[in-house]
């Protein structure tokens, strides 16, 4: 399937590939509740967050929850409309009819670029449809594969970003270097480095009994740890500690918006009940940080784990980044498992205020 997608992308003209991407993602009907509410509240200012997840990645849902809490805290009284990806693709023409009422925000995460193409296409469409509005992209990672096919698409998408009259992109890691180098940033198109928005949450206040070592390792296309290395690490830890558990940041089914809160609550509790987390997932590391849980973190394919750690989490004494399995085993032998840690999002207040300032300019 992956090879088929790459072949189609190479063969089809850019515009046709984009069109087919949208058509294939338009499963189900348009979200009539959103359109009805926009019509009923026409003339009232509101936030429109485009690209809210309904898939199974729990980290993306934590981002959505943090975005909503951030807006509620900084802009109380202003309605927040969450538009899932599918709803956007099926109704973006109708949504754009209410653009004068909306501050347009795009959901953050790690989906700019080629790893999750349907999301990059969504950004492209949103920037085109809301070409006369201020658009703000919540903290993101951009990753662009280096081959002729993706380079061709890069130049086309660069034009969309650069030609927008009022665009701000917040970047959460070192991929900001790529954007500043490759894209023509200017007064109308601004790129700003800020922490991942999930670091706005504090889940360390409620304490649970900590008993287990928790592994949270990838099994998808972003993993870089080979099966033999994974077995070596898990066997090493299991040989020294009896209570070892395994989890993932991917839920067993898709997560509807109405189920997001309970899924996140259970996942935060799982991390809060661990003495140590060993992970190669960005939000495995971030969940550890905001729950005050010691963590040994390894990298992923887009290097966003290392990027977020080095920029934002390096000073937290209970978060440790390692480059190899051997370093992870050494860190496990030396890490303190009995200390109690508290997380405080206020360490990033200057960045939260910057995000709020830029969003507020559109109100």
Higher pLDDT, 354 or 206: 354
The number of residues in the chain equals 363
CB proximity list for 114: less than 8 A, separation 6 or greater: 120, 143, 144, 145, 150, 153
Taking phi over 0 as left and psi of -120 to 50 as alpha, with beta for the rest, 28 belongs to left
Q: Which two tokens stand for residue 222?
A: 């972003």
Closest to 253 (Cα-Cα) out of 55, 19, 28, 38: 55
Do 285 and 308 form a contact (C-beta atoms < 8 A)?
yes
Residue with tokens 């954007």: 179
Residues 166 and 187: their CA atoms lie apart, in Å, by 8
Encode pLDDT of 30-58 as tens digits.
Answer: 478 899 999 999 999 999 999 999 999 99
Say if residue 181's pLDDT is above 80: yes
Range with top average pLDDT, 63-72, 246-255, 329-338: 63-72
Do 216 and 278 form a contact (C-beta atoms < 8 A)?
yes
Mean pLDDT, range 63-85, rounded to an integer: 96
pTM of the shown model:
0.88
Predicted local distance difference test score (pLDDT) of residue 231: 95
Predicted local distance difference test score (pLDDT) of residue 32: 83
Domains of the chain: 2-198+349-360 (3.40.50), 212-343 (3.40.50)
Residue with tokens 């926009």: 38
Residues 88 and 106: their CA atoms lie apart, in Å, by 11
Say if residue 304's pLDDT is above 80: yes
Encode pLDDT of 89-121 as tens digits.
Answer: 888 999 999 999 999 999 999 888 776 777 888
CB proximity list for 317: less than 8 A, separation 6 or greater: 341
The secondary structure of residue 112, as a DSSP letter, is E
Residue with tokens 């259970």: 266
Q: What is the DSSP string of 252-288?
A: SS---GGGHHHHHHHHHHHHHTEEEEEESSHHHHHHH
Q: How confident is the model at residue 3 (pLDDT cuts 50, 70, 90)?
A: low
Do 65 and 201 form a contact (C-beta atoms < 8 A)?
yes
Q: Which residues pair with 82 in a beta bridge?
A: 49
Do 167 and 189 form a contact (C-beta atoms < 8 A)?
yes
**What are the CB-based long-range contacts (under 8 Å, 24+) for 13-20?**
14/152, 14/153, 14/156, 18/121, 18/124, 18/125
Encode pLDDT of 234-260 as tens digits.
Answer: 999 999 999 999 999 999 899 988 899
Show the CA angle centred on residue 143, arms to residues 202 and 326, nearest 5°. Answer: 70
Residues 164 and 135: their CA atoms lie apart, in Å, by 9
Distances (CA, A) of 355 to 102, 193, 200, 347, 361: 17, 10, 12, 15, 10
Predicted local distance difference test score (pLDDT) of residue 337: 87
């Amino acid at each position: 399937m992956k090879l088929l997608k790459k072949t189609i992308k190479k063969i089809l003209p850019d515009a046709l590939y984009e069109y087919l991407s949208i058509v294939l993602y338009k499963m189900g009907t348009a979200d009539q509740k959103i359109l009805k509410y926009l019509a009923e509240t026409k003339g009232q200012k509101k936030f429109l967050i485009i690209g809210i997840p309904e898939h199974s990645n729990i980290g993306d849902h934590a981002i959505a929850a943090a975005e909503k809490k951030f807006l509620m805290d900084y802009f109380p009284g202003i309605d927040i409309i969450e538009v899932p990806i599918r709803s956007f693709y099926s109704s973006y023409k109708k949504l754009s009819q209410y653009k004068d009422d909306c501050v347009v925000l795009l959901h953050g995460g790690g989906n700019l670029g080629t790893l999750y193409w349907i999301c990059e296409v969504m950004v492209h469409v949103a920037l085109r449809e809301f070409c006369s509005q201020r658009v703000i992209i919540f903290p993101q990672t951009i990753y662009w594969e280096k081959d002729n096919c993706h380079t061709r698409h890069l130049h086309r998408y660069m034009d969309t970003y650069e030609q927008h009259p009022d665009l701000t992109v917040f970047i959460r890691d070192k991929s900001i270097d790529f954007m500043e180098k490759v894209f023509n940033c200017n007064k109308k198109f601004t790129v700003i480095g800020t922490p991942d928005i999930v670091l706005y949450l504090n889940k360390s206040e409620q304490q649970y009994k900590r008993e287990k070592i928790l592994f949270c390792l990838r099994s998808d296309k972003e993993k870089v740890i080979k099966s033999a290395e994974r077995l070596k690490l898990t066997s090493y830890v299991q040989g020294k500690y009896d209570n070892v558990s395994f989890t993932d940041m991917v839920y067993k089914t898709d997560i509807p918006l109405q189920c997001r809160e309970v899924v996140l609550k259970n996942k935060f509790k799982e991390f809060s009940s661990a003495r140590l987390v060993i992970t190669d997932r960005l939000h495995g590391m971030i969940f550890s940080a905001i729950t005050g849980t010691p963590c040994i973190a390894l990298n992923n394919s887009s290097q966003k784990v290392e990027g977020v750690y080095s920029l934002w989490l390096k000073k937290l004494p209970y978060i440790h980044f390692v480059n190899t399995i051997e370093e992870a085993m050494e860190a496990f032998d030396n890490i303190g498992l009995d200390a109690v840690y508290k997380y405080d999002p206020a360490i990033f207040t200057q960045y939260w205020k910057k995000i709020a300032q830029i969003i507020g300019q559109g109100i």
